A and B are shown apart, each in its own frame.
Chain A
Amino acid sequence: MENNLNKISDLINNQNNLEDEKKFKIASASLVCSIVDLDLDNPKKYCSLFQEKLNLPQEEFRQIRNNIDNDTLNMEEKINYIKSELGNNMYQIMEFLKILNKFAIANGCTQKSYREFELIRDKFLKEFY
């Protein structure tokens, strides 16, 4: 199963348009930030996950994170955008959700993180259930 997770990184890497790749990373990182509280948790804990799963090196993540507040897309729009980029493919979406799940439980898992993950998961999958 672990190999499948790399498909998301592959998808990001293979995007022809750098702007599209950046937009995908911003939307993804923004969802992660709603799951884990990086202000309370040490962001370094998540660096390897960002790099490994979302192809986001620390410096690039820092830049994205600083701009998340300026992002005009709301949660629903980000989810729809990511779904669209994943071809509305149920299994690609599940791979993406497994990555979000890794973030949710990376720090030993808290109710707030897991609840937020569930809310996002169900918004992604509502038409597939």
Chain B
Amino acid sequence: MNNYNTQGNTMRLKNFTILYVEDDKTTQELIQEILNCSCKEVFVANDGQEGLALYKEKSPDIVLSDIAMPNMNGLEMSSAIKKLNPNQAIALFTAFSEPTFLKQATELDISTYILKPLDEEQFFNSLNFMAMELEYSMNNSEKETL
């Protein structure tokens, strides 16, 4: 991840804000640095509780979160966010080693997962796909308004 390329396929993300929730400081700093170069604005929280508070304050376009965290885990936070906004785009980091968590996540209608260990290209492809979905939703909303 050290030689990440922010010149390539990240232009779509420039239009969107991201809330990134991660309790591991080393991972947090690395991902935050990457996101800062690619997104309109990045908000960072250390656990689900902080993440939920920041979500309410900032209303980000995309939520990107780890699952296992102290105080409030990523699923509890996602559930609370989905109650506030059922259409919120959320992606969860996972090593797919927690099938119970994943079952809960799919029940929350979370359809995007970032696989651990992190692969830079897949990471940006997944975020870009979410950005494309958001663009699509925004275009549809505009058409409906007209």
Given A90-B132, A109-B102, A125-B129, is A1 in contact with B87 using a C-beta cutoff of 8 Å?
A: yes
> Which range holds the interface residue count of chain B?
20 to 34
Given A105-B106, A121-B125, A122-B125, is A111 in contact with B115 using a C-beta cutoff of 8 Å?
A: yes
B26-34, B39-47, B133-141 - the one binding chain A: B133-141
Q: Report which of A97, A115, A128, A129 forms a contact with B115, defined as CB distance below 8 A.
A: A115
Main secondary structure of the interface of B (DSSP, over half): helix
A118 touches B132 (CB 8 A): no
Q: Give the residue name and chain of the B residue nearest to A128 (CB).
A: B132
Q: Report which of B111, B122, B133 forms a contact with A94, defined as CB distance below 8 A.
A: B133
Q: Across the interface, which residues of A come within 8 angstroms of B125, CB to CB?
A: 118, 121-122, 125, 129
CA distance A42 to B103 in the complex (A): 17
Main secondary structure of the interface of A (DSSP, over half): helix
Q: Report which of B9, B111, B137 forms a contact with A101, defined as CB distance below 8 A.
A: B111
Give the residues from 108 to 146 in chain B that come closer than 8 angstroms, CB to CB, to chain A: 111, 113, 115, 122, 124-126, 128-129, 132-133, 136-137, 139-140
State the total of A-B contacts with C-beta under 8 angstroms. 53
CA distance A97 to B136 in the complex (A): 13
Q: Does B77 lie at the interface of the complex (its beta carbon under 8 Å from any beta carbon of A)?
A: no
Q: Does B81 lie at the interface of the complex (its beta carbon under 8 Å from any beta carbon of A)?
A: no
CA distance A118 to B137 in the complex (A): 21
Q: Can you list 15 A-B contacts (CB < 8 A)?
A: A1-B87, A94-B132, A94-B136, A97-B129, A106-B106, A109-B102, A110-B96, A114-B96, A114-B115, A118-B125, A121-B125, A121-B129, A128-B132, A129-B9, A129-B124
